[in-house]
Structure 1
Amino acid sequence: MNFVITLITFILMEGATWIIHKYVMHGFLWVLHKDHHDHSNEGVLEKNDYFFVLFAIPTIALMYFGSLKDFNYLFYIGLGIMLYGMVYFFVHDIFIHQRIKFLTKAKSPYFLALRRAHKQHHKHIGKEEGECFGFLFVPFSYFKMYFNSAKK
């Protein structure tokens, strides 16, 4: 049952990510997310990186309080959020944005479509007119060019 709670939480995080990205990051907390789109920061870190801290706080709290009594469901909800956050970091920051030069030569249609969808999102520098606010779910239209080229 604990695995199921963790897995369902991980899957639901995709919807939560879409909502948070569209209405919080491109909404009232645009001030923190803006430099991720316009690249106005000059250092290694962005203001956008504060979101890792903001999202870690409830995750840590869930895991802490869930571990106090025999690792109840709160712990496994926190674990699902933490695992999603880890995947997000590796895929978004390392694979897509190449903040650490690793995984630069992907050939998988899924990963190429994921990168293309994210580039479509970043073509909009302002907070309005955005698209592709999700993360791991990639609209099918972004796969077409890679599946067609893989068949040749």
Structure 2
Amino acid sequence: MNWITILLCSFIVIGTFLFWEFIAWFTHKYVMHGFLWVWHRSHHTIHHEPLERNDLFALAFSIPSIFLFYYYSLVVYNPYMLAVGLGIFCYGVFYFIFHDIIVHQRIKWRPAKRSRYLQRMIHAHYVHHSKHTKQGCEAFGFLYAPKKYEPKNFSFRKERHETQ
């Protein structure tokens, strides 16, 4: 592979990763809080099981990446389509770390130092989960939350000094 292909593939991975935020937002708002609420409802209720019906979405969202990796590496080699698959995969890894580990603590770990950005993202997700119905929710994204979701009591300097 030459350096132009590597550069193009890098841009494709990053672009796909960022575009997948739109896909996740759209799906979260119109599918999960729409006709597939029957799956997503489990995520808006308190439970003590390690898995929930909502986890079926992780399986569904992994299908495009798996297909792209399989088809464009074993059937018809295409590095650009593999880059798309890698971008989707990277978004899935980000989602798992941010959503399942950092926010929902499915594995007990949270960074000691949290940036203003991370605090805003966590707070936006908690605002989203303040509703236990499919209507009336807001903040459907995972990479971006508007400044209105910045916690009022968060001070970057205070946070930085408390954790040192």
Report the TM-score when normalising by structure 1: 0.91
What is residue 46 of structure 1 aligned with on the other side?
Answer: 52
Out of 18, 23, 27, the residue aligned to residue 34 of structure 2 is 27
Task: Give the aligned CA root-mean-square deviation in angstroms.
Answer: 1.7
Cα offset, 1:104, TM superposition: 5.4
Structure 1 partner of 2:73? 67
Distance in 2, Cα, partners of 1:16 & 1:140: 21
Q: In the alignment, is the contact (CA less than 8 A) between 1:65 and 1:74 conserved in 2?
A: no
Asked if the contact 1:66–1:76 (Cα under 8 Å) also holds between the matched residues in 2, the reply is no
| Cross-structure match for 1:99 | 106
Higher Cα Rg: structure 1 or 2? 2
> 1:34 offset after TM fit, Å?
0.1
Aligned to 1:37: 44
For structure 2, the 5+ residue unaligned runs are: 1-7, 159-164
Decide whether the 8 Å contact of 1:121 with 1:132 is kept in 2: yes
Match of 2:143?
Answer: 136
How many equivalent residue pairs? 150
CA deviations over 1:71-128 (Å, ceiling 9, x no partner):
3322111110010000000000000001110115443111111110000000110001
Change (3 A) 1:77 1:112: same
- Using structure 2 for the length normalisation, give the TM-score: 0.84
In the alignment, which of 82, 90, 97 is matched to residue 97 of structure 2?
90
Where does structure 1 lack aligned partners over 5 or more consecutive residues? none
